[in-house]
Amino acid sequence: MHKKVKKAVFPVAGLGTRFLPATKSIPKEMLTVIDRPLIQYAVEEAKAAGIEEFIFVTGRGKSALEDFFDYSYELNETLKHRGNKQDLDAVNHVVLDPGTVIYTRQQEPLGLGHAVWCARHLVKDEPFAVLLADDLIEAKKPCLKQMVEAYEECASNVVALMEVDAKESSSYGMVRPGVGQDKTVKIEGVVEKPAPKDSPSNLAIVGRYILHSDIFDALESVRAGKNGEIQLTDAISQLLKRQEFYGLKFDGARYDCGSKHGLIEATIEMALNRPDMASEVRSIIKQMVNKK
Ligand code: UTP
């Protein structure tokens, strides 16, 4: 029997340079879509998929993120005193249970692969999920839950896949899928950020992974050979020689909140999906469009 996926790693140690100067003092993962930071969406998705242990790989200047998931004594007392139950529920809802959250540090932002590798002693020899908070995924059934179900069927590594325009291949890890498969495709190969003419397909890996702990050995050897950033895709490519990887074309919409336009798109879409905001936001957009 394969082990259940109970641990999730959230790499949040990147510099977020595309959002400078905001990210000089605010972690990128704390940027908000309406009234929640990106990291909250990712943590809630993980909880809904049955994750019990939350491992954050943080860096310098990320303490706002730790405080966010912690109990805030002064705020709670003030809200209690004011009898503000709704806000009190909202702040209490995000507090993670004692003993279920672990923070470790990536001292230098040496890439996503390196950040994941920093969690090796916490994950140990269990299968684990990786969620990139800047990939916000809206789905009826949370994306990671769909992936856990796929993992339970194939008992192997699973990555989230999305179709992208050919010209966008140089922004993603692109996969070479096996032939004749449907939603869950067997992956034959991966290429990190290929030029459109070199891309093996239009299927890109987006920020959700369920990985076997052997990925740490693969990351170790990739690490040894590089001076610059260590890519997770390179380690996947290496592990593909000895293990199976499947790609899940998940149901849902993904927003690239690591980019300015993606964060704006997510904010508009999510607002239009919220009953408490939709009509007001729709009329604001209409007025704006009419003026242009
Ligand atoms: P990105 O490459 O999108 O994030 O990494 P970045 O480097 O912070 O952003 P830009 O390009 O400078 O604007 C995806 C995820 O991996 C984490 C980031 O925090 C983000 O959640 N990451 C990236 C790390 O934890 N460590 C790294 O060294 C790099």
Residue 174's CATH number: 3.90.550.10
Instruction: Measure the CA–CA gap between 56 and 9, rounded to whole angstroms.
Output: 6
| 1 in a structural domain | no
Half-sphere exposure of 62 (CA within 13 A, CB side): 23
Please name the residue that has the structure tokens 């605010």. Answer: 26
Confidence of residue 226 (pLDDT cuts 50, 70, 90): low
- For a mutational test of ligand 1's pocket, the pick from 9, 10, 15, i.e. the residue with the most ligand atoms closer than 8 A to its C-beta, is 15
Task: Determine the pLDDT at residue 221.
Answer: 87
* 68 and 207 inside one domain: yes
* 151 and 228 inside one domain: yes
Q: Do residues 88 and 79 lie in contact, with contact meaning Cβ atoms separated by under 8 Å?
A: yes
* 243 and 264 inside one domain: no
Task: Determine the pLDDT at residue 278.
Answer: 95
* 180 and 265 inside one domain: no
Say how many domains are in the chain.
Answer: 2
Q: How far is the CA of 278 from the centre of ligand 1 (A)?
A: 31
Task: Determine the pLDDT at residue 224.
Answer: 60
* 109 and 90 inside one domain: yes
* 150 and 271 inside one domain: no
Task: Determine the pLDDT at residue 227.
Answer: 56
A 10 A CB-CB count for 32 gives: 14
Confidence of residue 62 (pLDDT cuts 50, 70, 90): confident
Average pLDDT of the chain, as a whole number: 93
Mean pLDDT of 69-83: 91
* 202 and 267 inside one domain: no
Q: Hey, what are 252's tokens? A: 């849902």
Instruction: Measure the CA–CA gap between 174 and 162, rounded to whole angstroms.
Output: 10
| 40 in a structural domain | yes
Task: Determine the pLDDT at residue 102.
Answer: 95
- Which of 208, 214, 10 minimizes the C-alpha distance to 100? 10
* 137 and 14 inside one domain: yes
Question: What number of H helices and E strands is found in the chain?
Answer: 11, 13
- For a mutational test of ligand 1's pocket, the pick from 112, 131, 209, i.e. the residue with the most ligand atoms closer than 8 A to its C-beta, is 112
Confidence of residue 291 (pLDDT cuts 50, 70, 90): confident
pLDDT exceeds 60 at position 225? no
Q: Hey, what are 16's tokens? A: 């977020």
Pocket of ligand 1 (CB under 6 A): 11-18, 28-29, 57, 106, 109-112, 114-115, 132-134, 258
* 269 and 187 inside one domain: no
| 172 in a structural domain | yes
27-36, 74-83, 224-233: the lowest-pLDDT one: 224-233
* 139 and 275 inside one domain: no
| 2 in a structural domain | no
Instruction: State the residue range of the domain holding 108.
Output: 7-258
Task: Determine the pLDDT at residue 1.
Answer: 54
Mean pLDDT of 93-119: 94
Q: Name the closest-CA residue to atom 22, ligand 1.
A: 14
Q: Hey, what are 161's tokens? A: 């896949």
Q: How far is the CA of 6 from the centre of ligand 1 (A)?
A: 24
| 289 in a structural domain | yes
| 85 in a structural domain | yes
Q: Hey, what are 131's tokens? A: 């969620």
* 133 and 165 inside one domain: yes
The pTM (predicted TM-score) of the whole model is 0.94
- Which of 88, 94, 85, 68 minimizes the C-alpha distance to 76? 88
* 105 and 136 inside one domain: yes
Q: Which atom of ligand 1 is nearest to the CA of 229?
A: 28
Task: Determine the pLDDT at residue 61.
Answer: 77
Exposed/middle/buried for 39, CB within 10 Å: 0-12, 13-18, 19+? buried
Q: How far is the CA of 63 from the centre of ligand 1 (A)?
A: 16
Task: Determine the pLDDT at residue 120.
Answer: 97
Mean pLDDT of 216-240: 85
